Amino acid sequence: MTLADTPLRAGRAEPTMPEGKGHALRGGGSTVIAVRRQKLWDLIMDESRLAAAIPGAETLHRVEGAEDRTYAADVGIGVGPIKGVWKVHARFAEVIEPAHIVLFGGADGPLGKSFGEGWIDFEPVDGGTRITYSYAILISGMVAKVGGKLIDGAADKLIEKFYARLEKAIRSERRAAV
């Protein structure tokens, strides 16, 4: 089975943009993390270690009773003049260890909400693991009206911060193991 053949991807080239009015945010990219794929996967599947990598995460917990791996978090996010604590939820709807995740999630905050789909792939490469990601998110409310253009740049910055914090967590674990 190739990743394009997984049940939720169903041969699609990219995540599907949710229907509705608002600011459509689509993006993707890749980065290499200097750690073996299984070790990186284990870190991401550990909620306490994952929480340490999420910029602005004040809380993160697994939702009890959820059929899939579902997380809820309170995350402080600021985009220009728009700042607040957002109630974030993410459902890992398709998990193929250690290669692939499809997730659905969103955020509700003081000035709007978002919902979308994301794909994350983990590929072993020389020097570590390549993480490739793509997402389609619809943002609505005042935040979409006022900060639409700011959000595009802020999304990239948040993703960069996440990967930098993930690498920092890995380096800290390596130092602690020595």
Given this model, what pLDDT does residue 18 score? 95
* DSSP character at residue 15: P
Low-confidence ranges of the chain (pLDDT < 50): 1
Given this model, what pLDDT does residue 83 score? 77
Say what the pTM is: 0.87
Closest CA to 119 of 98, 136, 139: 136
d(CA 159, CA 54): 9
Q: Which residues pair with 161 in a beta bridge?
A: none
Residue 4 inside a domain? The answer is no
Question: Pairing relation of β-strands 69-79 and 82-96?
Answer: antiparallel
Residue 144 CB burial class (10 angstroms; 0-12, 13-18, ≥19): buried
Residue 9 inside a domain? The answer is no
| CA distance readout (Å), 154 to 18, 73, 110, 150 | 20, 19, 18, 6
Query: What CATH number is attached to the domain comprising 83?
Result: 3.30.530.20
- Output the six-digit token pair for 105: 């999630």
Terminal alpha carbon distance of the chain: 39
Given this model, what pLDDT does residue 2 score? 57
Residue 111 inside a domain? The answer is yes
Residue 131 contacts residue 122 (beta carbons within 8 Å): yes
Given this model, what pLDDT does residue 169 score? 81
Residue 1 inside a domain? The answer is no
Residue 71 inside a domain? The answer is yes
Number of domains in the chain: 1
Judge if the upstream peptide bond of residue 98 is cis by omega within 30 degrees of 0: yes
| Region of residue 162 (left: phi > 0; alpha: psi -120 to 50; beta: else) | alpha
Given this model, what pLDDT does residue 123 score? 96
What residue numbers bound the domain in which 90 lies? 16-177
